[in-house]
Amino acid sequence: MKDIMIAPFVCDMRNITEVMYRLGWDERNGGNISYLLDENVVGEYLDLSAVIRTIPLGFDATEISGKIFIVTGTGKYFRNVYADPENNLGIVRIGADGKTAELLWGYKDGGKFTSEFPAHLMSHMSRLSVDPENRVVMHCHPTYTLAMNYVHELDEKKFTHTLWEMCTECIVVFPDGVGVLPWMLCGTNSIGEATAEKMKEFRLVVWGMHGIYGAGKTMDETFGLIETVEKAAQIYMLTAHLPRINTIRDDQMVELAEFFGVKYRRDFLNL
């Protein structure tokens, strides 16, 4: 077996959690990431028949039974993942019953996956039904995106339109827009179900007064989606109290989207 510590998926998790913590998006034990892995690749690093223990999921994930994920642990701090991945991360396989997860590696101190793992799995199922290549779900608390929640209407069309106006790249990076949910109790199946429903339309979902969920094909793509929203929100928060002299017009957004060949939410524009 190859050394699990140099597995690309472990390295990805170590590196991205370090960056997100340094950016201030994942204070304390805030935020969580799950990454759907290729069974054949994981098999190069782990004995897939060696189950350490089983952990109840708290909902029925039969639809993705047998799928393997690397996921951050509950109560764990992103700042500790890089130095100690085996305690702060775990690799789990969804059991045949769909109601348990089989621990294959990690959570060495007896811990388990994030309390929002059921919400992640629901989003994974939604995104896989739209795009089978979507493998990453990422949740964090970006500062300016969160601040924007308090001064901007939590309407997905208006919220998206404002973000699109802030940076030329925005409509190209997230042409499908940003879904928005009102404040809901986190760590529950209810918010997971609501997020999963939004994920059928959007790769980005704002949790009102809480943070954001992003989904993508790779760690870089998913991080990049959230990073671009956060930059746009930062520009908005730096300028919202000032007279607006210039802006990116809706006809210019159309020109951008069509030039780059992206399928955009035309109904989110004021044409």
Which alpha helices (DSSP H) does 45-188 contain, by range? 78-81, 85-88, 117-130, 143-149, 156-166, 170-173
- Which one, of 24, 121, 112, 22, lies nearest residue 72 by Cα? 112
**Element at 206 (helix H, strand E):** strand 204-207
- Establish whether 116 is a catalytic residue: yes
What angle (nearest 5°) sits at the alpha carbon of residue 232, between those of residues 226 and 236?
Answer: 140
Instruction: Please pick, among 116, 156, 221, 230, the residue that the annotation labels catalytic.
Output: 116
Which two three-digit tokens encode residue 212?
């954001």
- Using CA atoms, how far residue 150 sits from 95, 154, 208, 209, in Å, is 41, 9, 9, 7
Please give the single-letter amino acid code of residue 8: P
- Using CA atoms, how far residue 54 sits from 44, 84, 228, in Å, is 22, 22, 38
Strand order in the sheet with 32-37: 53-56, 100-106, 89-94, 68-72, 32-37, 136-140, 211-216, 204-207, 179-181
Residue 56 per-residue DSSP state: E
Query: Which residues are the active-site residues?
Result: 116
